[in-house]
Structure 1
Amino acid sequence: MFLEASIAALALLLALLMRPWRMLASRPGPGGSQDLIASALITPLLAVLVLLPWAWALPTLYRLPLQLHWSAAPLVVILLGWPLAVPCLLAVGAIAFAVSPELSASEALGVTVWQGLVPATLAMLWGTIVRRWCWHHIFVFILLRGFLGTVLCLFIASLLGQWAGHVLPNVHDDLSRMARWLMAWSDGVTTGMLTAVFVVFRPQWVATWSDAIYLQPPMPGDRSDKP
């Protein structure tokens, strides 16, 4: 539990140093209007706080031979950005602990770290790599960040969690790795589809998306124009 608490405290400290609340501040209307427009990120933030705690608490609410975990942490990072996703995921873990009588404080902290903060941090690092070294295109964003990145980040995070003692009950280690790999793919498919939908229909909900970057043709000589 000390390891999980240290990771959570460090992630929260680094996130708060970036002042993520600025992303939720109201902005002036178009044309210098005096009317303030609420941040579009409030909608996905509230959706995450309402829906995701139930997904995290589900394995303790219904006892199954193989507990199915849905993280959605990479999707939260894509929508909100890492600085805002960290306190949001910590709040999700606290709400999951409150709604599930079978979830202990140590288990809730473990779920928050290994299903939330660690894959979210890996997704942020992966996104930085993709943005720096890959071709800037909408399909690259959806496939590499939304789909493939989610699979890789969740699988690596789950292996780290298993090494730290956060194991699936009544499941052998080899079978556990296979189960975590398959569950990472289910998360990746869901995240990829939702990323595509939000980028096309609600790009203002995606903090990591930029029309200026991903919808403009690459400049000659730019290293990002190479796949």
Structure 2
Amino acid sequence: MEGLRIETIGTVLALLCALWLRPWRLLKGPLLTPALAALVLLPLLWLTPQFMPAGLRVQLSGASLLVLVLGWPLAVPLLAVVALLVWGLGTEGPQLALIQLWWLGVVPATLALVLGAALRRWLPANPFVYTLGRGFLGTAVSVFVAGALMRWFQPLGHDGSLVAVWLMAWGDAFLTGMVCAVFAAFVPQWLATWSDARYLRPPGADR
């Protein structure tokens, strides 16, 4: 367990920070539906490598999408529940569940939060900035950096090259960008990080 120190400490700190913000209050509104859907679908994504042929690693994160849909404070404890489900339903032990929670969940989710804040600060409020910047490119960067860091801190058992990490990051990016675009167009109430007042205001309305 010595090698899991960073995962354990980081996960505990992230959970404490998220729970301190009382994110469960958001479940009283329309976000309950996507939260329940995530509890069904996300464990399937995380369980996929356990049931594929040896040597074929297809691993999606979904954490960046979860941040855009639910917000970081609610996404982090939900990711912890997903990791518990993966532990209970899968064939691996609790160590893999903790590694997945940190490197596939908390780290890319936090990076997506930071990149999203930077885009809000430095780029105009535009639907394309949201879907392409936060949903697509932001996800690709967040997932790739998290995957690269995982291979730095957890080299054993993660022999995939950075090229493979980069390609899988784009898979996450396409999924997140597509879902964000659909939700923004048809069910914007399912996006905690979306605001009609911000992203759909007429040009020059803030002057």
What is the TM-score of this pair, normalised by structure 2? 0.94
Partner of 1:204 in structure 2?
189
Determine the C-alpha separation between the residues in 2 that align with 1:178 and 1:168.
Answer: 17
Partner of 1:88 in structure 2?
78
Give 1:112 shift: 0.9
The question of whether the paired residues in 2 share the 8 Å contact of 1:82 and 1:124 is answered with yes
Determine the C-alpha separation between the residues in 2 that align with 1:126 and 1:155.
Answer: 13
Give 1:167 shift: 5.4
Give 1:190 shift: 1.1
What is the TM-score of this pair, normalised by structure 1? 0.86
Determine the C-alpha separation between the residues in 2 that align with 1:163 and 1:199.
Answer: 36
Determine the C-alpha separation between the residues in 1 that align with 2:186 and 2:143.
Answer: 26
Residues 164-193 of structure 1 show CA distances to partners (whole Å, capped at 9, x for unaligned) of 11555554xxxx100000000111011111
Secondary structure of 1:146's partner? helix
Unpaired runs of 5+ residues, structure 1, are: 26-38, 223-227
Matched, 1:153 2:124: no
Residues 72-94 of structure 1 show CA distances to partners (whole Å, capped at 9, x for unaligned) of 10000000000000000011111
Note the 1:215-226 alignment, pairs <5 A: 215-219=200-204
Partner of 2:25 in structure 1?
22
Partner of 1:189 in structure 2?
174
Partner of 1:42 in structure 2?
32
Partner of 2:199 in structure 1?
214
Give 1:61 shift: 2.1
Distance 1:69 1:168, change over 3 A: farther
Partner of 1:28 in structure 2?
none
The question of whether the paired residues in 2 share the 8 Å contact of 1:118 and 1:157 is answered with yes
The question of whether the paired residues in 2 share the 8 Å contact of 1:57 and 1:96 is answered with yes
The question of whether the paired residues in 2 share the 8 Å contact of 1:114 and 1:158 is answered with yes
Partner of 1:105 in structure 2?
94
Instruction: Look at both structures and tell me which one has the larger radius of gyration over its CA atoms.
Output: 1
Residues 54-110 of structure 1 show CA distances to partners (whole Å, capped at 9, x for unaligned) of 110110122332311010100000000000000000111110111112x11111100
99, 113, 119: which one aligns with 2:108: 119
Count of residues paired in the alignment? 204
Paired letter, 2:172: D
Unpaired runs of 5+ residues, structure 2, are: none
Matched, 1:135 2:135: no
Q: CA RMSD for the aligned pairs?
A: 1.5
The question of whether the paired residues in 2 share the 8 Å contact of 1:44 and 1:205 is answered with yes
Partner of 1:52 in structure 2?
42
7, 12, 18: which one aligns with 1:9: 12
Residues 102-145 of structure 1 show CA distances to partners (whole Å, capped at 9, x for unaligned) of x1111110011100100000001111111111110111100000
Sequence identity (%): 46
Determine the C-alpha separation between the residues in 1 that align with 2:114 and 2:20.
Answer: 18
The question of whether the paired residues in 1 share the 8 Å contact of 2:151 and 2:158 is answered with no
Determine the C-alpha separation between the residues in 2 that align with 1:118 and 1:169.
Answer: 17
Partner of 2:152 in structure 1?
163
Secondary structure of 1:65's partner? coil
Give 1:21 shift: 1.2
